[in-house]
């Protein structure tokens, strides 16, 4: 129970429910505004849960599949692709509903193990210079500690500061030993963590589901961090571990 209270599902910020949909945005901590459309695979997920709305990130991997975190599930999800400022559309956006939400069958909302979900879009995306896919890693691949990667999203920069444009930051992949010391439920086979504990650079609320990108490949999915603490490293779902499930699920559907 103590661990559950410590860990925070990043999109569940109570004050976000009081804001109008256009205001539910934020930014990466310690980063900068991304060059518009420099990450054409990024997806903004508008999630309805009953009468409440939250948001997450995600990323396009085929013309009709988006990958995100399992804890980003909801009753209805609209996916916006080709966006930079989510409050001021620029005409390049494609908004498509998620026809199917396929959460990993072994997802655990206490430990965040298997925190991955596939969204099958209700129609194929039109690929353009501002909407395109990102590569996924091979199944046995491991990103070595010390690798510089990057993460992007529309999540908050602090408890009280928000923005509407996509933000990004570079992070260092940490050793499994470092992650185990910070997170008792850390599973090195299905998780990885990034962010130097000495730097105030990390993801935060609202960035859930976005990709950790290393060498142009989506290696991780933003999963969880310590509640109410801007203290890296944060934990990501290790995508390579789930490649058999991803390929099998997309092929079957």
What is the set of active-site residues?
71, 115, 208
What is 107-153 written as a DSSP string?
A: --TTT-TT--EEEEESS-----SSS---B---TT--PPTT-EEEEEE
Sequence-distant (6+) residues with CB within 8 A of 228 are 8, 159
Contacts of residues 142-146 at CB distance under 8 Å and 24 or more positions apart, as own/partner, are: 142/240, 143/173, 143/192, 143/214, 143/219, 143/220, 144/173, 145/172, 145/173, 145/174, 145/175, 145/176, 146/172, 146/173
């Amino acid at each position: 129970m103590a661990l559950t209270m410590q860990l925070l599902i990043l999109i569940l910020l109570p004050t976000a429910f009081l804001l109008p949909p256009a205001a539910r945005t934020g930014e990466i901590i310690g980063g900068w505004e991304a060059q518009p459309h420099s990450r054409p695979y990024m997806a903004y997920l508008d999630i309805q849960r009953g009468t409440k709305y939250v948001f997450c990130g995600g990323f396009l991997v085929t013309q009709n599949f988006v990958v995100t975190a399992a804890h980003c599930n909801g009753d209805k999800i609209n996916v916006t692709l080709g966006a930079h400022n989510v409050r001021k559309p620029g005409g390049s956006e494609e908004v498509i509903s998620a026809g199917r939400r396929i959460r990993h069958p072994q997802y655990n909302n206490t430990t965040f193990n298997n925190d991955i979900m596939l969204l099958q879009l209700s129609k194929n995306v039109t690929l353009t210079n501002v909407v395109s896919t990102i590569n996924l890693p091979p199944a046995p691949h491991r990103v070595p500690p010390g690798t510089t990667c990057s993460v992007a999203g529309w999540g908050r920069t602090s408890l009280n500061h928000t923005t509407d444009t996509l933000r990004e930051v570079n992070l260092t992949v940490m050793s499994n030993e470092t992650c185990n010391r910070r997170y008792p439920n850390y599973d090195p086979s299905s998780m990885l963590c990034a962010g130097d504990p000495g730097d105030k650079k990390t993801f935060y609320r609202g960035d859930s589901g976005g990709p950790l990108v290393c060498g142009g490949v989506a290696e991780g999915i933003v999963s969880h961090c310590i509640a109410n603490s801007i203290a890296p490293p944060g934990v990501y779902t290790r995508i390579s571990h789930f490649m058999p499930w991803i390929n099998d699920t997309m092929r079957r559907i």
